[in-house]
Amino acid sequence: MTKPLGDILAECIKDWDEEEQFALPKDAKRGNHCGVQAVAVVAQKLLGETMEIFKVQCSRIKKKKRWAGGTTHPERVKVLKFLGVKFKELNTSYTNGVTLQRFVKEIANPNFTYIVTTTSHVQLVKGSKILDQQGKVEISDFWGRRKKIYKPVLQVIKE
């Protein structure tokens, strides 16, 4: 039995919408702001707008005259909550010391987006794709696939 054309189109549009949401913000640029960019993508905000929110919400950043965009895990959590992004922290006993590649292949649910910190770099994971300032690539082609996870991983909950 074949599906009606309307159902097929609806599925294609849903897939396209999800793919569009897992993309760099329109004002994306290179720089030391991987955590800010990850938050911007999951919150569906512009990079510049998200940087301003970090400056207002985070006291450490407020004090810096020349903040380039570096963030800490607690700062990202604080801004995600401020923006109303729903997420949960994965149990670190499953992720500590695991390479990004292993996390993608063995732990991550491909239906969710994850904010993952490896050493001092933050990237997004969805399915087998990684998104950072350089764009979206397959895990097998990602320059940091062998980096290890030592911070809590955040699983973004879509409503």
H-only helix segments in the chain: 5-21, 34-43, 47-57, 59-63, 73-82, 92-95, 100-102
- pLDDT of amino acid 30: 86
4 vs 93, which has greater pLDDT? 93
C-alpha of 66 from chain center: 24
Q: What is the pLDDT of residues 100-116, one digit of tens each?
A: 999 999 999 999 999 99
* pLDDT of 9 over the 50 cut: no
Average pLDDT, the chain: 89
pTM of this structure: 0.86
Facing residues of 71 across strands?
A: none
Per-residue pLDDT band at 4 (split at 50, 70, 90): low
Q: Residue 29 — pLDDT band, cuts 50, 70, 90?
A: confident
Q: How far apart are CA 156 and CA 154, in angstroms?
A: 6
Domains and CATH numbers, the chain: 24-156 (3.90.70)
| Across 12-36, average pLDDT | 75
- Residues 86-103: pLDDT tens digits? 999 999 999 999 999 999
* Tokens 């054309």 sit on residue: 5
For the chain, percent of residues with pLDDT exceeding 90? 77
Q: Phi first, then psi: give them for residue 125, nearest 5 degrees.
A: -125, 130
Higher pLDDT, 13 or 38: 38
71: pLDDT strictly greater than 90: yes
Pick the residue with more confidence: 121 or 65? 121
Residue 114: the pLDDT is: 98
